[in-house]
Amino acid sequence: MGKITFYEEKNFQGSSYDCSSVYADLRIYLSRCNSIRVESGVWVIYERPCFKGFQYVLSPGEYADNQQWMAFNDNVKSCRILMNVYGSDCKLRLYERPDFGGQMVECSDDCPSVYDTYKLREAYSCVVTDGAWIFYDLPNYRGHQYLLERGEYKKHTDWGASSPGVDSFRRITEF
């Protein structure tokens, strides 16, 4: 299992809470979160209870303020550890239309700019055949994050995006 510690204030100050499993509602333990230590495991934290809202994927390390994990606010209300993350064996197929239509590109590496690399302006559907991935709505791994695990995503709303803009993505390869 993994371990993550949430702190209410920046620089690991204020009240804290240690987690080592899935929590659908952290509100009873924390009113806000401004810094995090990830001792082990890859974690997904969510801005709302029950794994809703903006999501952020954190690998082991120290995040002294919420800007380091690209948070839009100080809300962390649920979390879960990623299980079954399998090293570097990652593959996905991106499609320019819903229901796996239009141009398709197959990927097995990180991509800082989908347009520069594949000339795709939008990705409406996706199949993750191996591993787990993070999609970003801006180039160079910035903006909103969307976690995609093994499976089929017939439309962009299936991975939680409000628009089909995928401008960069990367593999999750650390445990």
Which run of H or of E encompasses 117? helix 114-118
Q: Quick one: which of 106, 133, 108, 117 has its CA closest to 167?
A: 117
Pinpoint the residues of the chain covered by CATH 2.60.20.10: 3-81, 91-171
pTM of the model: 0.80
Q: What per-residue confidence (pLDDT) applies to 10?
A: 97
pLDDT, tens digit (0-9, with 9 covering 90-100), for 43-67: 999 999 999 989 999 999 999 999 9
Question: Top-level CATH class of 91-171?
Answer: mainly beta
Q: What per-residue confidence (pLDDT) applies to 84?
A: 60
The larger pLDDT score, comparing residue 173 to residue 15, is at 15
Backbone Cα Rg of the chain: 16
**Ramachandran angles phi, psi of 174, nearest 5°:** -100, 150
> Is the pLDDT assigned to residue 142 strictly greater than 50?
yes
Q: What per-residue confidence (pLDDT) applies to 175?
A: 43
> Is the pLDDT assigned to residue 167 strictly greater than 80?
yes
Classify domain 3-81 by CATH number.
Answer: 2.60.20.10
Chain centroid offset of residue 43 CA? 9
Which run of H or of E encompasses 10? none
For residue 109, the one-letter residue type is D
> 132 to each of 12, 15, 27, 74, 140, how far by Cα in Å?
29, 32, 28, 26, 18
Q: How far apart are CA 55 and CA 134, in angstroms?
A: 10
